[in-house]
């Protein structure tokens, strides 16, 4: 599964930002794994700045992500050849009969170019290919690059009364980590097809 997607309408990019190349979304390779930690750390720095929280947890090593049940997709920079440098990734957990987008991270140097949208669409397609009807995620309700971003891609909030035991467990875990200290967290989901 490799797709080449034009990552943004270049006319809509911020001033001074170079035109984007097509972004390739593909399954992660072992050689990509060290890059995932760097990408997540750079993306997390946006939260540290927003929340003014110097105690933000360190990124999960890519090798650890690769050992969990699920799949990892990377967006690379579209450089010629078999695989360019990763600029973002999506990590989807497959657990308890559910597909859950555990992490979506794009290096800020490649932000606002459609990379996150391309990764999310590819994660939806791969989850559908694996037989999942729904992809879920947990995110901040009011951070612009969180729930509002996913809402534009067709995700909707899941009411607490409709949470599966798996999703309830994830919410409890997030509370234990203290993520709600920074704002309201929500569970969102959308059908993988359509």
CATH for 165: 3.40.630.30
Give the model's pLDDT for residue 31.
Answer: 92
List the pLDDT tens digit at each of the 194 positions of the chain: 544 333 333 333 344 444 456 778 999 999 999 999 888 887 767 665 666 665 667 778 899 999 999 999 999 877 666 567 888 999 999 999 999 999 998 877 776 777 889 999 999 999 999 999 999 999 888 877 778 889 999 999 999 999 999 999 999 988 888 777 777 889 999 999 85
The whole domain housing 68 covers 22-191
Residue 101's pLDDT is what?
96
180 occurs within a structural domain: yes
178 in any annotated domain: yes
17 within domain boundaries: no
In a domain, 6, yes or no: no
In a domain, 1, yes or no: no
Model pLDDT, residue 39: 87
Between CA 58 and CA 97 the distance in angstroms is 29
Tell me, yes or no, whether 63 lies in a domain. Answer: yes
Domains in the chain, number: 1
Q: What is the pLDDT of residue 23?
A: 78
Q: How many CB atoms lie within 10 A of CB 160?
A: 11
Is the residue at 42 inside a domain?
yes
Instruction: Examine residue 60 and state whether it is found in any structural domain, yes or no.
Output: yes
């Amino acid at each position: 599964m490799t797709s080449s997607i034009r990552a943004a309408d270049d006319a809509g990019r911020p001033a001074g930002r170079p035109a984007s190349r097509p972004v390739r979304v593909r399954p992660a390779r072992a050689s990509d794994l060290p890059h995932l930690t760097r990408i997540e750390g750079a993306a997390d720095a946006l939260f540290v700045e927003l929340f003014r929280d110097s105690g933000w947890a360190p990124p999960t090593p890519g090798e650890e992500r690769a050992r969990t049940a699920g799949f990892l997709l990377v967006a690379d920079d579209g450089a010629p050849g078999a695989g360019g440098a990763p600029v973002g990734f999506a990590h989807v957990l497959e657990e308890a009969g559910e597909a859950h987008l555990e992490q979506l991270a794009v290096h800020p140097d490649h932000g606002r170019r459609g990379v996150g949208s391309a990764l999310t669409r590819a994660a939806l397609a791969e989850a559908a290919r694996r037989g999942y009807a729904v992809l879920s995620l947990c995110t901040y309700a009011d951070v612009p690059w969180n729930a509002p971003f996913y809402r534009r891609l067709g995700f909707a909030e899941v009411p607490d009364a409709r949470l599966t035991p798996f999703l309830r467990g994830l919410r409890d875990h997030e509370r234990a980590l203290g993520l709600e200290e920074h704002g309201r967290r929500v569970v969102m989901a959308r059908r993988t097809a359509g």
